[in-house]
Chains A and B, each alone.
Chain A
Amino acid sequence: MDEITCKLLVIGAGPGGYTCAIRAGQFGIDTVIVEAGKPGGTCLNIGCIPSKALIHAADTYDTVARAAEGSHPLGISTAKPSLDFGKTIAWKDGIVRRLNGGVAGLLQRAGVRYLTGRAAFRDGKTMAVETTDGNRLIHAESIVIATGSEPIELPSIPFGGCVISSTEALALAEVPGKLVIVGGGYIGLELGTAFAKLGAAVTVVEAAPQILPQYDGDLSAPVARRLRARGVVVLTDAKALAANGGALTIETADGGQAATEADKILITVGRKPATSGFGLERLDLDINGPFIAIDDRCRTSMRGVFAIGDVTGEPMLAHRAMAQGEMVAEIVAGRRRAWDRVSIPAICFTDPEIVSVGLSPKEADRSSFAVKTELFPFRANGRALTLDREDGFIRTVVRADNHLLLGIQGVGAGIAELSAAFSLALEMGARLEDIALTIHAHPTQSEAFHEAALKSLGHAIHI
């Protein structure tokens, strides 16, 4: 068996792992990264990127389809569009391929050695890797576990046949006629909305009393309204019991049972950390529920072993993993670093989009100081009207005594890009006055943020 010695070994080339490896390479650290699949991890291959491509394709198709219905408010009409879904998927795959190549190139340029294969711990300093051209034994001073997460399978409705996870949903050969989605979280609704726009009859089965249970009702309501208008059937307080052939048996809110026909049943009930299959049990690391326990430097309970990304807990978001990966590389390079980020933005690419940064009103209320919450609706925003999308709002959550922004949330068409302004405000420690005294370009949806701040100060102009 070939033996490799390096300073840093990264397990998993997802957003956390590859960022960590590239940053380490920039420091001149002798780094090896091991990945069983393709570079980019869940995010790039079967998550964020392909789903956003599909959502964009669905939006574009939907715009044309609405125009074909003949009642388009903008006065546009056209013949009924047709969809070559195979081509759509090929376009999406092209983007993924390009980014796969991009990540591999960046790693190479940073001087990182890339190994394709499955790694398994021998001990806290050694891993064995099975590659296509033989096995390797890697000795490393530091190891970063960045193995990510995988979809949770329902024991009563195992994957296989027409029961699929998000991975398969992003690689379907055709748009399913009837799509039933179990789990009304952000993954299920993002995909469900896209398929509904592409022409599928979509039913969402959610066990909680509302869809998007991690958000408050104010934020999820515009999404629910839009789903209804789109003809998506949303069953809340409903439990998926079993799949038989082309139907899903559901226990409804009133306790009765119903069967829903389905060409495909998409299970999106959450994700779990990928902690098995690579000999993690040999290290006997401290755990935090299903996750690997880490401290504020992403150190596990074993010296020299770090963990980053989804495997370390919520929120399971690529940008959190990337920030952690960067930090760990700098720590390995001898820099003094610790996790002190104020906020990790979360975006739900539904229609409309939901952005949440910092504390929600409910979370802020748990603090010891008085909190003030104020929102500005897009129906009073000129740009929103010109986009024919006046649904949604921007909301600020501040400390009443010194006006420090604690959280910013919003729901509205295409407002994901506003998250940068929100995150910057929180990270810089902005107060309402800072936002109020910053000129926000007109006409843009960002003015709603400005106006929400003014409103919280008691002097909104446009409402």
Chain B
Amino acid sequence: MAERVVKLPDVGEGIAEAELVEWQVKVGDIVREDAVLGAVMTDKATVEIPSPVEGRIIWLAGKVGDVLAIGSDFVRLDVDGKGASPVEAIAPAARATSPSLRKADRAAGTALAPAVEAADRAPPLQPLATPPRREGERPLAAPAVRLRAREAGIDLRALRGSGPAGRITHDDLDAHLAQNSVSAAATPYRAKATVEDIKITGLRRKIAERMSIASSRIPHITYVEEVDVTALEDLRGKLNGQQRPGKPKLTLLPFLMRAMVHAIAEQPILNAHFDDEAGIVHRHAGVHIGIATQTPAGLMVPVVRHAEARDIWSCAAEMARITEAARNGTATRDELTGSTITITSLGVLGGLATTPIINHPEVAIIGVNRIAIRPHWDGTAFVPRKMMNLSSSFDHRVIDGFDAAQFVQRIKTQLETPAMIFIDA
């Protein structure tokens, strides 16, 4: 049996490790050359790792959620024994796992998968884990447990069993009864005591890490200001009404992006990265605007590069392209990194005001709230105006409140008099 080791390749510049987010193969599978083995995630890009050769998988590096070092063994393949009968091939490994099989029996008290210890890197052949029951699957319990539960008015489907194969024991039932001493039968509403453990992996873990860093290291100052967007909305409506071919539909954000470019020209310190360990603020000349985007996988921040060099149509088109790419998972690493300032907008869910978290290591984030028609005192009467709030956060270590306010006022002025957006200083 010739063994071929596939190592985890360098999937991103200067990255030492990557998180395993998916296996597309399992031990015993035959894979062709170039077939995808699995995927790892670095920063915010997910990279698929193809197989360099044809062969049969005999070992995988870990389980989803594990962090693997670049250059470490990723997959081991049997490259000439692939025709061998699977029984023959599995037999020695089965011997190797039987002690841990016993271990799994004893450890089955925890409902989570009893992972094969990392130290004994034997291929996990028989997953004896007790995953939560699938929807519709019958709860497993001895007749006496079923009877007690029925008499107590407890639906065993609401319990998770601690016994082997997820069997619900008398102890599980006692624990459930203790937690729910109020008789559930008296009301149609059932108290629910189950706790579902969801492992935070992949993008969600990245988001959690980045939010923690941003929130713990950056003293935020959040400034909320009201903007009258009646004129801007009129303009936007007219432009969109013309339906010019090849031109994208305009949302409010391209106007905001151009207004930010102008404001940054006056206050370049807002378009920066603060390296707090080195004590250096890197002021960027290029305005790379991150667009906080909700995707099926979670929050991503694709980047519109060089907004200073784009007109309003180009900003709109590029934003549509990268946010779509982020949503359908085709965004590249480059498209997901390198922003120098960020916009966050929840559209119709924008709320009255928000407290945005800065996209570390940037120093400012502009939050867009919902547009609503509100009464406005024009000096003689109340008039209906389309009003919108901007909720913006700044790194107070390097941005003073005065500068923050001035920056938002500069944006406000342009949005309220949209012609200014198109006049370059």
Q: Which residues of A contact B (CB under 8 A)?
A: 335-338, 340-341, 368, 399, 401-404, 427-429, 431, 433-434, 458-459
Contact = CB atoms under 8 A, between A and B. Distances in A.
A459 B91 CA distance: 11
6 contacts: A340-B146, A404-B165, A429-B140, A429-B165, A433-B105, A433-B164
A78 B154 CA distance: 65
B142 interface: yes
A434 B108 CA distance: 13
Given A336-B151, A401-B127, A402-B130, A431 B143 contact: no
A337 to B, nearest CB: 6
Contact of B153 (A336, A368, A399, A404): A336
Contacts of A399: 165
Contacts of A458: 94, 98
A404 B140 contact: yes
B221 to A, nearest CB: 54
A338 B166 contact: no
B141 interface: yes
A405 to B, nearest CB: 9
B172 to A, nearest CB: 12
Nearest to A402: B165
B321 interface: no
A341 B128 CA distance: 25
Given A401-B127, A402-B128, A431 B150 contact: no
Q: Which 9 A-B pairs have the closest CB atoms?
A: A402-B165, A429-B140, A404-B165, A429-B167, A428-B142, A336-B150, A431-B165, A431-B164, A340-B146
A195 B142 CA distance: 42
A428 B142 CA distance: 4
Contacts, number: 42
Contacts of B163: 429
Given A403-B165, A431-B165, A433-B164, A335 B151 contact: yes
Given A402-B128, A458-B94, A429 B151 contact: no
Interface in B127-150: 127-130, 134, 140-143, 146, 150
Contacts of A401: 127-129
Nearest to B161: A429
A402 to B, nearest CB: 4
Nearest to B94: A458
A337 B127 contact: no
A403 B94 CA distance: 15
A427 B142 contact: yes
Interface in B108-137: 127-130, 134
Nearest to A340: B146
B63 to A, nearest CB: 16
B131 to A, nearest CB: 8
A434 B146 contact: no
Contacts of B94: 458
Contacts of B130: 402
Nearest to A437: B105
Nearest to A399: B165
Contacts of B134: 368
A401 B134 CA distance: 13
Nearest to A337: B150
Nearest to B90: A458
A428 B167 CA distance: 9
A203 B147 CA distance: 48
B185 to A, nearest CB: 8
B150 A429 contact: no
A113 to B, nearest CB: 29
A425 B128 CA distance: 19
Contact of B141 (A335, A404, A429): A429
Contact of B128 (A335, A340, A403): A403
Contacts of A431: 164-165
A287 B47 CA distance: 59
A338 B143 CA distance: 12
A425 to B, nearest CB: 11
Contact of B166 (A336, A368, A402, A428): A402
Interface in B162-195: 163-167
B140 A338 contact: no
Contacts of A427: 142-143
A345 to B, nearest CB: 14
Nearest to B166: A402
A459 to B, nearest CB: 8
Given A336-B153, A401-B127, 13 more contacts: A336-B151, A368-B134, A402-B128, A402-B129, A402-B164, A427-B142, A428-B142, A429-B163, A429-B165, A431-B165, A433-B105, A434-B164, A458-B98
A432 to B, nearest CB: 10
